[in-house]
Amino acid sequence: MKISYKNIIFSKQEKYVVAREDLDNLVENLRKLSRDHKVTLLIFSYRRLISWIDWQSEKHEVPILIVKPRETYSMCPRRGSRLVENGCSVLKCPRRGFEAYRDRVAVLNIERKGMFRIGVLRPPSLPCR
């Protein structure tokens, strides 16, 4: 798991906080997916990757934020609207035209949720009536 080590070292040097999804309920959520998708997810060892990231961050004293995975793959990271599929693994925002691969959308949403938690980003203010 060299990549987790490299990410943590880079985060320490740059004084970043690491944000990752809370995937504790992954197995329970797999029951809701189609069979083909379940097999793909089960092959990749999420638990092992998570334990390596957590261990490296603790060892090197890098703060880690664990964010809820809800809607990280389905919401527009720019506007918060529901994304629609636009091809194989590509999602598009029908309101503003933002388009990206599903995994990139998740990364942007995890980053955004982490930034909200540490107070770097503020939720958009409501318009005056």
- In terms of Cα–Cα distance, which of 90, 88, 69, 72 is closest to 80? 72
**Radius of gyration of the chain measured on its C-alpha atoms:** 16
The pair phi, psi for residue 83, each rounded to 5°, is -85, 155
Nearest-angstrom CA–CA distance, 37 and 102: 14
- In terms of Cα–Cα distance, which of 129, 116, 40 is closest to 108? 116
Please report which confidence band the pLDDT of residue 36 belongs to, taking 50, 70 and 90 as the band edges: low
pLDDT of 25: 74
- Residue at token pair 């985060």: 11
- In terms of Cα–Cα distance, which of 1, 120, 16 is closest to 63? 16
Q: Is a pLDDT exceeding 80 seen at residue 20?
A: yes
pLDDT of 42: 62
* Average pLDDT over all residues of the chain: 81
Give SS3 for 70. Answer: coil
Q: In 3-state terms, the chain is what percent helix, strand and coil (to 5)?
A: 45, 15, 40
pLDDT digits (tens, 9 = 90+) for 77-123: 887 889 999 888 899 998 878 899 998 999 999 988 888 888 876 65
Q: How many Å from the N-terminal Cα to the C-terminal Cα in the chain? A: 52
Please report which confidence band the pLDDT of residue 28 belongs to, taking 50, 70 and 90 as the band edges: low
Say if strands 18-21 and 64-67 run parallel, antiparallel, or are unpaired: parallel
